Amino acid sequence: MKFGRRHIISMKDFTRDEIDFILGRAIKMEDLLKNGTSDLLKGKILALLFYEPSTRTRMSFEAAMLRLGGDLLNLGSKEASSIAKGETLADTIRVISTYSDAIVLRHPSEGSARLASEFSSVPIINGGDGAGHHPTQTLLDLYTIKRESHLENLDIAIVGDLKYGRTVHSLAYALSRYGANITLVSPPQLTMPEQIKADLKIRGAQVSETENLEEIMGDIDVLYVTRIQKERFPDPTEYKKVAGAYKITPNLLENVRQDMIIMHPLPRVYEIDSSVDNSPHAKYFEQSFYGVPARMALLTIILGVEM
């Protein structure tokens, strides 16, 4: 399958075959990780442009590139770069794309990765654009589901901030490719945007909505929990009304399917009680680890490595 030099902007752009191809490559990367490192990307440079704070996305890309023998260019803090002088994103991308073989961009504005792709001479990887998309998080989410549960005939509940949560927007689009039975669980103020629900319907996805998490706990294979994101709320009082709307506790897990798994893109704040961490259902730290092989797979594919 040919991916060469392709921009990774939105999961909407992927076919199921393409996703399966990346997940298949991720399994090879996980095997490779068990044996140490490789030099598949020796001589290649990945630029990291993070205009917003990030721990897992940035460091797992760094780990992925280093495990593959490649090198990194890091923008560092905005304050220490030309961004502080008012340089446009377009100009920054024009320049950095001449220094590197691919660029990971995280930016607070929706559509920033799409814009970057218009000005870049190398592949742009969307590392999160405002409340828009986060396709590489979705790749690792799907990889986690594949490894810890099953992608076929999946019953999944997606819980929390579905309005501003870019990870769940991307995940829902991708799950629609697998015919998953998706239940959206959120407070009324944070429901999935109408246009995304309309898109999912057009794509033939099975989607239902509820505010009541307890009533569906026994019917799901995957519980995907997200944080209510304080930083995305224009009005702090609105945040206070919904903060803590859902909390996963051991009591809530009493009647779940034996092999049900709990996922979370992290960081978590109040949504999952730490007493759940030792439960066999908890897979969010494994999920975090899977980001490395998933991103190794993506990097090798878009940089043209045949395996």
Is residue 225 within 8 A of residue 159, CB to CB? The reply is: yes
112 vs 176, which CB is nearer to another protein? 112
114 vs 257, which CB is nearer to another protein? 114
Task: Kindly list the residues in this chain that would bind another protein in the complex (CB under 8 A).
Answer: 10, 88-90, 107-112, 114-115, 118, 129-132, 194-195
CA distance 289 to 246: 25
Tokens 């209510």 correspond to what residue?
A: 228
6 vs 94, which CB is nearer to another protein? 94
Can you list the pairs that 239-245 forms with residues at least 24 positions away whose Cβ atoms lie under 8 Å? 241/187, 241/189, 242/187, 242/189, 242/190, 243/270, 244/270, 245/160, 245/186, 245/187, 245/190
Q: Which tokens is 10 given?
A: 């939105």
112 vs 138, which CB is nearer to another protein? 112
Q: Where are the alpha helices (DSSP H) in 149-283?
A: 166-176, 194-202, 236-242
- Residue 127 has a CB neighbour count (10 Å cut-off) of 27
Q: How far is the CB of 300 from another protein (least distance, A)?
A: 29
CA distance 106 to 108: 7
CA distance 132 to 144: 22
- Residue 212 has a CB neighbour count (10 Å cut-off) of 8
131 vs 282, which CB is nearer to another protein? 131
71 vs 199, which CB is nearer to another protein? 199
